[in-house]
Copies of this chain bind each other. A is one copy, B any other.
Amino acid sequence: MAGKEKPKIIIDKNQMRTWCRAMRSQGKTIALVPTMGYLHDGHLSLIEEAHKHTHLVVVSIYVNPSQFAPSEDLSTYPSDFEGDIRKLMAVPGGIHVVFHPHNLYDYGVDAAVEFGGNGGGSDGRAAVSSLEASGSGHETWVRVERLEKGMCGRSRPVFFRGVATIVAKLFNIVEPDVAVFGKKDYQQWRIIRRMVRDLDFSIKVVGSEIVRDADGLALSSRNVHLSPEERQKALSINRSLSKAKSAAERGERNCKKLQNMMVDEILEAGGRLDYAEIVEQESLEVVEEIKSPVVFLIAAWFGKVRLIDNMEIKL
Protein backbone atom coordinates (compact mmCIF):
# COMPACT_ATOMS: atom_id res chain seq x y z
CA MET A 1 0.00 0.00 0.00
CA ALA A 2 1.34 3.42 -0.86
CA GLY A 3 2.47 5.43 2.14
CA LYS A 4 0.14 8.31 1.44
CA GLU A 5 -3.01 6.24 1.49
CA LYS A 6 -5.02 5.99 4.70
CA PRO A 7 -4.60 2.54 6.24
CA LYS A 8 -7.60 0.30 6.75
CA ILE A 9 -8.85 0.66 10.33
CA ILE A 10 -10.32 -2.47 11.91
CA ILE A 11 -11.89 -2.43 15.35
CA ASP A 12 -13.49 -5.88 15.46
CA LYS A 13 -11.23 -8.80 16.34
CA ASN A 14 -13.05 -11.30 14.16
CA GLN A 15 -12.84 -8.96 11.20
CA MET A 16 -9.14 -8.54 11.93
CA ARG A 17 -8.57 -12.30 11.88
CA THR A 18 -10.64 -12.72 8.73
CA TRP A 19 -8.60 -10.08 6.92
CA CYS A 20 -5.30 -11.70 7.95
CA ARG A 21 -6.46 -15.17 6.92
CA ALA A 22 -7.64 -13.86 3.56
CA MET A 23 -4.23 -12.27 2.98
CA ARG A 24 -2.40 -15.39 4.08
CA SER A 25 -4.46 -17.52 1.71
CA GLN A 26 -3.12 -15.26 -1.06
CA GLY A 27 0.42 -16.11 0.01
CA LYS A 28 1.08 -12.85 1.84
CA THR A 29 3.11 -12.78 5.04
CA ILE A 30 2.13 -10.46 7.87
CA ALA A 31 4.06 -8.56 10.52
CA LEU A 32 2.41 -7.24 13.66
CA VAL A 33 3.69 -4.16 15.47
CA PRO A 34 1.82 -3.94 18.79
CA THR A 35 1.64 -0.41 20.23
CA MET A 36 -0.36 1.56 22.76
CA GLY A 37 -0.56 4.51 20.36
CA TYR A 38 0.71 8.09 20.78
CA LEU A 39 3.28 7.09 18.23
CA HIS A 40 6.76 8.55 18.00
CA ASP A 41 9.77 7.89 15.81
CA GLY A 42 10.62 4.84 17.93
CA HIS A 43 7.38 3.19 16.89
CA LEU A 44 7.86 4.25 13.31
CA SER A 45 11.28 2.57 13.29
CA LEU A 46 9.55 -0.67 14.36
CA ILE A 47 7.34 -0.39 11.30
CA GLU A 48 10.32 0.19 9.03
CA GLU A 49 11.89 -2.91 10.58
CA ALA A 50 8.66 -4.85 10.00
CA HIS A 51 8.73 -3.98 6.29
CA LYS A 52 12.04 -5.83 5.96
CA HIS A 53 10.39 -9.12 6.96
CA THR A 54 6.90 -9.43 5.48
CA HIS A 55 4.60 -8.36 2.67
CA LEU A 56 2.07 -6.71 4.97
CA VAL A 57 2.27 -4.72 8.19
CA VAL A 58 -0.45 -4.51 10.82
CA VAL A 59 -0.07 -1.97 13.64
CA SER A 60 -2.24 -2.47 16.70
CA ILE A 61 -3.11 0.58 18.77
CA TYR A 62 -4.58 -0.52 22.07
CA VAL A 63 -3.91 0.81 25.55
CA ASN A 64 -3.95 -2.49 27.41
CA PRO A 65 -5.62 -2.00 30.78
CA SER A 66 -4.38 -5.30 32.22
CA GLN A 67 -0.76 -4.17 32.37
CA PHE A 68 -1.54 -1.18 34.59
CA ALA A 69 -1.92 -1.59 38.33
CA PRO A 70 -4.76 0.50 39.80
CA SER A 71 -2.17 2.95 41.17
CA GLU A 72 -0.53 3.46 37.76
CA ASP A 73 -1.06 5.96 34.96
CA LEU A 74 -3.66 4.25 32.79
CA SER A 75 -6.08 7.17 32.96
CA THR A 76 -3.41 9.69 31.94
CA TYR A 77 -1.68 7.56 29.30
CA PRO A 78 -1.51 9.91 26.30
CA SER A 79 -3.43 9.22 23.11
CA ASP A 80 -3.90 10.90 19.74
CA PHE A 81 -5.47 8.50 17.27
CA GLU A 82 -5.82 10.97 14.40
CA GLY A 83 -2.22 12.07 14.86
CA ASP A 84 -1.14 8.42 14.91
CA ILE A 85 -2.87 7.75 11.59
CA ARG A 86 -1.12 10.75 10.01
CA LYS A 87 2.25 9.50 11.24
CA LEU A 88 1.56 5.98 9.98
CA MET A 89 0.69 7.34 6.53
CA ALA A 90 4.07 9.11 6.40
CA VAL A 91 6.12 5.94 7.10
CA PRO A 92 7.99 4.73 3.99
CA GLY A 93 5.86 1.91 2.61
CA GLY A 94 2.98 2.92 4.87
CA ILE A 95 1.09 0.27 6.73
CA HIS A 96 -1.84 -1.88 5.69
CA VAL A 97 -4.10 -2.14 8.72
CA VAL A 98 -4.48 -0.38 12.05
CA PHE A 99 -6.11 -2.74 14.52
CA HIS A 100 -7.80 -0.50 17.05
CA PRO A 101 -10.12 -2.58 19.24
CA HIS A 102 -12.26 -0.96 21.90
CA ASN A 103 -11.99 -3.53 24.69
CA LEU A 104 -10.28 -6.90 24.28
CA TYR A 105 -11.46 -8.09 27.69
CA ASP A 106 -15.17 -7.80 26.97
CA TYR A 107 -16.59 -11.19 26.04
CA GLY A 108 -20.22 -10.24 25.55
CA VAL A 109 -23.35 -9.85 27.61
CA ASP A 110 -22.96 -13.01 29.66
CA ALA A 111 -19.40 -12.19 30.53
CA ALA A 112 -19.27 -8.54 31.45
CA VAL A 113 -15.79 -7.41 32.34
CA GLU A 114 -15.60 -6.46 35.98
CA PHE A 115 -13.19 -3.63 36.35
CA GLY A 116 -11.06 -3.81 39.45
CA GLY A 117 -9.28 -0.95 41.20
CA ASN A 118 -9.73 2.71 40.47
CA GLY A 119 -7.67 3.94 37.55
CA GLY A 120 -10.84 4.61 35.57
CA GLY A 121 -10.53 7.58 33.26
CA SER A 122 -13.29 9.74 31.88
CA ASP A 123 -13.07 7.82 28.61
CA GLY A 124 -14.15 4.59 30.30
CA ARG A 125 -10.66 3.22 30.76
CA ALA A 126 -10.22 1.10 33.87
CA ALA A 127 -7.48 -1.20 35.00
CA VAL A 128 -8.49 -4.79 34.33
CA SER A 129 -5.57 -6.14 36.28
CA SER A 130 -7.26 -7.32 39.46
CA LEU A 131 -10.05 -9.51 38.28
CA GLU A 132 -9.67 -12.53 40.49
CA ALA A 133 -12.84 -11.96 42.50
CA SER A 134 -15.62 -13.98 40.86
CA GLY A 135 -17.95 -14.13 37.91
CA SER A 136 -17.26 -14.79 34.29
CA GLY A 137 -14.84 -11.97 33.45
CA HIS A 138 -11.35 -12.45 32.07
CA GLU A 139 -9.26 -14.75 34.27
CA THR A 140 -6.61 -16.34 32.05
CA TRP A 141 -3.09 -15.03 32.39
CA VAL A 142 0.18 -15.94 30.73
CA ARG A 143 3.10 -15.83 33.14
CA VAL A 144 6.76 -16.00 32.20
CA GLU A 145 7.71 -16.85 35.71
CA ARG A 146 11.44 -16.26 35.94
CA LEU A 147 11.97 -13.40 33.49
CA GLU A 148 9.02 -11.42 34.86
CA LYS A 149 10.40 -11.38 38.41
CA GLY A 150 13.15 -8.76 38.45
CA MET A 151 13.51 -5.11 37.45
CA CYS A 152 10.22 -3.66 36.13
CA GLY A 153 8.45 -6.73 37.52
CA ARG A 154 9.40 -5.67 41.06
CA SER A 155 7.94 -2.18 40.88
CA ARG A 156 5.06 -2.99 38.50
CA PRO A 157 3.52 -6.17 39.92
CA VAL A 158 0.95 -6.92 37.19
CA PHE A 159 2.82 -5.40 34.27
CA PHE A 160 4.40 -8.39 32.54
CA ARG A 161 1.46 -10.64 33.24
CA GLY A 162 -0.67 -8.08 31.43
CA VAL A 163 1.84 -7.66 28.60
CA ALA A 164 2.32 -11.38 27.96
CA THR A 165 -1.42 -11.95 28.05
CA ILE A 166 -2.38 -9.14 25.67
CA VAL A 167 0.40 -10.12 23.28
CA ALA A 168 -0.82 -13.74 23.30
CA LYS A 169 -4.32 -12.45 22.52
CA LEU A 170 -3.07 -10.22 19.70
CA PHE A 171 -1.01 -13.12 18.32
CA ASN A 172 -4.13 -15.30 18.26
CA ILE A 173 -6.20 -12.61 16.59
CA VAL A 174 -3.71 -11.45 13.96
CA GLU A 175 -1.78 -14.76 13.61
CA PRO A 176 1.25 -12.90 12.28
CA ASP A 177 4.42 -14.43 10.85
CA VAL A 178 6.61 -11.78 12.47
CA ALA A 179 6.14 -9.48 15.45
CA VAL A 180 8.38 -6.47 16.08
CA PHE A 181 9.12 -5.14 19.55
CA GLY A 182 11.37 -2.29 20.64
CA LYS A 183 14.46 -3.18 22.63
CA LYS A 184 13.89 -0.08 24.76
CA ASP A 185 11.46 -2.33 26.64
CA TYR A 186 14.23 -4.87 26.98
CA GLN A 187 12.72 -7.09 29.65
CA GLN A 188 9.40 -7.10 27.77
CA TRP A 189 11.17 -8.11 24.57
CA ARG A 190 12.94 -11.01 26.29
CA ILE A 191 9.70 -12.10 27.94
CA ILE A 192 7.81 -12.13 24.65
CA ARG A 193 10.58 -14.15 23.00
CA ARG A 194 10.49 -16.66 25.83
CA MET A 195 6.71 -16.89 25.71
CA VAL A 196 6.78 -17.51 21.98
CA ARG A 197 9.31 -20.31 22.45
CA ASP A 198 7.60 -21.90 25.44
CA LEU A 199 4.06 -21.79 24.04
CA ASP A 200 5.15 -22.83 20.52
CA PHE A 201 3.78 -19.78 18.77
CA SER A 202 4.91 -19.95 15.16
CA ILE A 203 6.02 -16.32 15.15
CA LYS A 204 9.43 -14.73 14.67
CA VAL A 205 9.96 -12.05 17.30
CA VAL A 206 12.23 -9.27 16.05
CA GLY A 207 13.85 -6.79 18.42
CA SER A 208 14.34 -3.29 17.06
CA GLU A 209 17.05 -0.92 18.29
CA ILE A 210 16.33 2.01 20.62
CA VAL A 211 15.67 5.38 18.98
CA ARG A 212 16.87 8.46 20.85
CA ASP A 213 16.27 12.17 20.45
CA ALA A 214 19.20 14.41 19.51
CA ASP A 215 19.81 15.08 23.21
CA GLY A 216 20.08 11.34 23.90
CA LEU A 217 16.73 10.74 25.60
CA ALA A 218 15.20 7.45 24.49
CA LEU A 219 11.88 8.07 22.77
CA SER A 220 8.83 7.23 24.87
CA SER A 221 5.18 8.22 24.75
CA ARG A 222 5.57 9.25 28.38
CA ASN A 223 8.22 11.90 27.55
CA VAL A 224 5.38 14.29 26.72
CA HIS A 225 4.63 14.53 30.44
CA LEU A 226 8.13 15.81 31.28
CA SER A 227 8.56 19.52 32.04
CA PRO A 228 11.54 21.10 30.23
CA GLU A 229 13.43 21.00 33.52
CA GLU A 230 12.57 17.35 34.18
CA ARG A 231 13.58 16.47 30.67
CA GLN A 232 16.96 18.09 31.26
CA LYS A 233 17.40 15.96 34.39
CA ALA A 234 16.23 12.84 32.58
CA LEU A 235 19.17 13.08 30.19
CA SER A 236 21.16 11.62 33.10
CA ILE A 237 19.75 8.20 32.15
CA ASN A 238 21.47 8.06 28.81
CA ARG A 239 24.57 9.68 30.30
CA SER A 240 24.82 7.12 33.09
CA LEU A 241 24.37 4.19 30.70
CA SER A 242 27.00 5.57 28.31
CA LYS A 243 29.42 6.18 31.16
CA ALA A 244 29.09 2.66 32.54
CA LYS A 245 29.28 1.20 29.05
CA SER A 246 32.50 3.09 28.30
CA ALA A 247 34.01 2.00 31.59
CA ALA A 248 33.14 -1.63 30.81
CA GLU A 249 34.62 -1.30 27.34
CA ARG A 250 37.80 0.13 28.87
CA GLY A 251 38.06 -3.01 31.00
CA GLU A 252 36.01 -2.49 34.17
CA ARG A 253 34.36 -5.85 34.90
CA ASN A 254 33.11 -5.26 38.44
CA CYS A 255 29.37 -4.74 38.25
CA LYS A 256 29.06 -3.16 41.68
CA LYS A 257 31.41 -0.39 40.56
CA LEU A 258 29.64 0.04 37.23
CA GLN A 259 26.28 0.07 38.94
CA ASN A 260 27.42 2.77 41.39
CA MET A 261 28.50 4.91 38.45
CA MET A 262 25.00 4.68 37.01
CA VAL A 263 23.27 5.29 40.32
CA ASP A 264 25.37 8.35 41.16
CA GLU A 265 24.66 9.99 37.81
CA ILE A 266 20.87 9.61 38.22
CA LEU A 267 20.80 10.77 41.83
CA GLU A 268 23.07 13.75 41.17
CA ALA A 269 20.67 14.87 38.45
CA GLY A 270 17.80 14.72 40.95
CA GLY A 271 16.15 11.56 39.61
CA ARG A 272 14.51 8.98 41.85
CA LEU A 273 15.98 5.61 41.02
CA ASP A 274 13.78 2.54 40.58
CA TYR A 275 16.64 0.28 39.53
CA ALA A 276 20.03 0.25 37.83
CA GLU A 277 21.00 -3.30 36.93
CA ILE A 278 23.54 -5.27 34.96
CA VAL A 279 22.13 -8.61 33.83
CA GLU A 280 22.85 -11.41 31.41
CA GLN A 281 21.13 -10.64 28.09
CA GLU A 282 19.16 -13.85 27.64
CA SER A 283 18.31 -14.95 31.19
CA LEU A 284 18.19 -11.46 32.75
CA GLU A 285 20.08 -12.92 35.69
CA VAL A 286 22.07 -10.43 37.77
CA VAL A 287 25.78 -10.55 37.04
CA GLU A 288 28.56 -9.70 39.51
CA GLU A 289 31.41 -9.71 37.06
CA ILE A 290 31.07 -9.22 33.32
CA LYS A 291 32.12 -12.40 31.52
CA SER A 292 29.52 -12.69 28.77
CA PRO A 293 27.15 -10.36 26.89
CA VAL A 294 25.21 -8.24 29.38
CA VAL A 295 22.78 -5.38 29.30
CA PHE A 296 22.78 -2.29 31.52
CA LEU A 297 19.26 -1.20 32.43
CA ILE A 298 17.87 1.79 34.26
CA ALA A 299 14.42 2.81 35.44
CA ALA A 300 14.05 6.15 37.17
CA TRP A 301 11.44 8.73 38.05
CA PHE A 302 11.67 12.36 37.06
CA GLY A 303 8.77 14.18 38.64
CA LYS A 304 5.74 11.97 38.07
CA VAL A 305 7.21 10.28 35.02
CA ARG A 306 8.90 6.89 35.17
CA LEU A 307 11.35 6.31 32.32
CA ILE A 308 13.38 3.27 31.28
CA ASP A 309 16.38 2.84 29.03
CA ASN A 310 19.18 0.32 28.46
CA MET A 311 22.36 -0.48 26.57
CA GLU A 312 23.64 -3.88 25.51
CA ILE A 313 27.35 -4.58 25.91
CA LYS A 314 28.95 -7.20 23.71
CA LEU A 315 32.52 -7.75 24.88
Q: Which residues of A contact B (CB under 8 A)?
A: 13, 17, 25, 104, 107, 111, 132, 134-136, 138-147, 164-165, 168-169, 172-173, 175, 194-195, 197-202, 282-283, 285
Copies of this chain present: 2
Name the distance in Å between A301's Cβ and chain B's nearest Cβ. Answer: 29
Cross-chain contact B169 with A146 (CB below 8 angstroms): no
Chain B, Cβ-Cβ closest to A16: B200
Cα of A169 to Cα of B195 in the assembled complex, Å = 10
Residues of B within 8 A of A139 (CB): 144-147, 194, 198
Within 8 Å CB of A143, what residues of B? 140-143
A13 CB contacts on chain B under 8 angstroms:
200
Quote the shortest CB–CB distance from A195 to chain B (angstroms). Answer: 5
Say how far A200's CB is from chain B's closest CB, in angstroms: 4
Q: A140-B144, A141-B143 are in contact. Are A283 and B135 (CB under 8 A)?
A: yes
Contact between B136 and A282, CB atoms less than 8 A apart: yes
Residue in A111, A132, A134, A140 whose Cβ sees the most chain B Cβ within 10 Å: A140
Q: How far is the CB of A202 from chain B (nearest CB, A)?
A: 6
Residues of B within 8 A of A144 (CB): 139-140
- In the assembled complex, the Cα of A104 lies from the Cα of B31 at a distance in Å of 26
